[in-house]
Amino acid sequence: MSPAPCPRVVALDGDDTLWENETNFVTSYARFRELLLRHVDMPPAEVDRLLLATEKRNLKAYGYGVKGFVLSMLETAIDVTDARIPASDLKEILGLGRWMLEHPLTPIDGAAEVVTALRDAGHEVWLITKGDLFDQESKVARSGLAELFHRVEIVSEKDPATYRRLLERHGVEPADFAMAGNAMRSDVLPVLAIGARAFFIPHPLTWAHEVVQPHPGAAFVELKSLRDLPAALRAMAA
Ligand SMILES: [Mg+2]
């Protein structure tokens, strides 16, 4: 048996790293904007700003996921229209949420091949995804990728404490761990903070909340595509 590769454990993010996610939120933002502008006169960008502000304010109460997003859309719609919005339109918002939850998942180009390549290279491959448990479990199942992972972890926040806890629980040293994902805030900075390695794979659509500027000198590796990950790990080990 060949020696364990370095890093021994490679973890991947789910939303917008292995499958498309934000594109559904963008569609919902557009339909929500259209719906509200039937009732109020304001610049379309202002509707987006108010909805994002409600979402951020509610994260502590609802966590990440579609259900919390639906509640934030309802709250914004009621506030912005001074509670004049008819129930039929609120029902339309509920329909948007249902559409998001049932929407077929579109895998990111190369997702299955890359996970398989990482396994074949001897890495232990984890999926670490954040959000509502039911929603994420359903996405993992629909992705068809679940069987390819050695471990699937669904967490409610991706901060240094979460990563530290996961590694401790499974006896993995930070030096033996690398994370790859599209969110600077969730997949890169907290991983560097615990002394592990991080690969940043930007997605053209990323939720505004996840976009943060890395500090100068932050030691992550940026990749153009998920498909570049196996080679980047080989280069790192060499
Ligand atoms: Mg993501």
Q: What is the rounded CA–CA span in Å between residue 100 and residue 105?
A: 10
Amino acid making up residue 213? Q
**Are residues 13 and 182 in contact, defined by beta-carbon separation less than 8 angstroms?**
yes
DSSP label of 183: -
Q: 34 C-alpha vs ligand 1 centroid, how far in Å?
A: 27
Q: 31 C-alpha vs ligand 1 centroid, how far in Å?
A: 23
Q: 203 C-alpha vs ligand 1 centroid, how far in Å?
A: 9
**Are residues 158 and 187 in contact, defined by beta-carbon separation less than 8 angstroms?**
yes
State the average pLDDT over residues 56-60.
Answer: 93
State the average pLDDT over residues 26-48.
Answer: 96
Q: 182 C-alpha vs ligand 1 centroid, how far in Å?
A: 5
* Two structure tokens written together for 93: 């918002």
The contacts of residue 213 (CB under 8 Å, 6+ apart) are: 184
* Two structure tokens written together for 190: 């907290």
Nearest to 85 by CA among 133, 36, 51, 147: 36
Percent share of the chain, pLDDT over 90? 77
Q: Which residue has the tokens 């969110």?
A: 183
Q: 86 C-alpha vs ligand 1 centroid, how far in Å?
A: 34
Nearest to 180 by CA among 106, 136, 114, 238: 114
Checking DSSP bridges between strand 221-222 and strand 9-12, what pairing results, if any?
Answer: unpaired
Q: 15 C-alpha vs ligand 1 centroid, how far in Å?
A: 4
Q: 11 C-alpha vs ligand 1 centroid, how far in Å?
A: 12
Residue 1 pLDDT grade (very low, low, confident, very high; cuts 50, 70, 90): very low
Q: 60 C-alpha vs ligand 1 centroid, how far in Å?
A: 19
Q: 85 C-alpha vs ligand 1 centroid, how far in Å?
A: 33
Domains and their CATH numbers in the chain = 9-20+106-237 (3.40.50.1000), 22-102 (1.10.150.240)
Percent share of the chain, pLDDT over 70? 98
**What is the pLDDT, as a whole number, of residue 79?**
97
Q: 190 C-alpha vs ligand 1 centroid, how far in Å?
A: 14
The contacts of residue 45 (CB under 8 Å, 6+ apart) are: none
* pTM, rounded to two decimals: 0.86
Q: 19 C-alpha vs ligand 1 centroid, how far in Å?
A: 9
Instruction: Please write the tens of the pLDDT for every residue from 172-223.
Output: 999 999 999 999 999 999 999 999 999 999 998 777 777 778 887 778 999 9
Cα within 13 Å of Cα(62), Cβ side = 18
Instruction: Please write the tens of the pLDDT for every residue from 148-178.
Output: 999 999 999 999 999 999 999 999 999 999 9
Output 106 or 218, whichever has higher pLDDT.
Answer: 106
* Two structure tokens written together for 130: 């954040």
**What is the pLDDT, as a whole number, of residue 214?**
82
Q: 73 C-alpha vs ligand 1 centroid, how far in Å?
A: 21
**What is the pLDDT, as a whole number, of residue 7?**
94
Helices (H), the chain: 22-36, 44-62, 66-80, 87-102, 111-120, 133-143, 160-169, 189-193, 229-237
